[in-house]
Amino acid sequence: LCGRLERFLFATGQVELLYDYKADRELLQQAFERAHRWRELESLVSWRNVAIETCENISQDAMEAVITAAEKIGLARHHALVDAWALRAAHLISGNE
């Protein structure tokens, strides 16, 4: 996991990682630290907690719509991909850049 993410981050350059749960951010950073790669990546990564942005009703509705659609194709709530899609929808609809 660290190797693939590292290659992606280095190829992308500066990247903003959005998260809604503090432990998710901590686990990702710890994984890079344990792989002895965090020092090289730290300067490329900025973090943003989108939990505040996703508290709006319209954002919550967007997230629920994505989750419902994902369940129809066999993916459950809190599946990493479903959560990413839902957060992206909430982020886009909230108009936050």
Residue 49 corresponds to which tokens in the numbers above?
Answer: 């907690």
Per-residue pLDDT of 44-80, as tens digits, reads 889 988 777 667 778 888 889 999 999 999 999 888 8
End-to-end Cα spacing for the chain: 28
pTM: 0.63
Give the Cα separation of 78 and 81 in Å (integer): 8
Per-residue pLDDT of 4-45, as tens digits, reads 887 887 788 888 888 888 898 999 889 888 888 888 888 888
Rounded-to-5 percentages of helix, strand, coil across the chain: 65, 10, 25
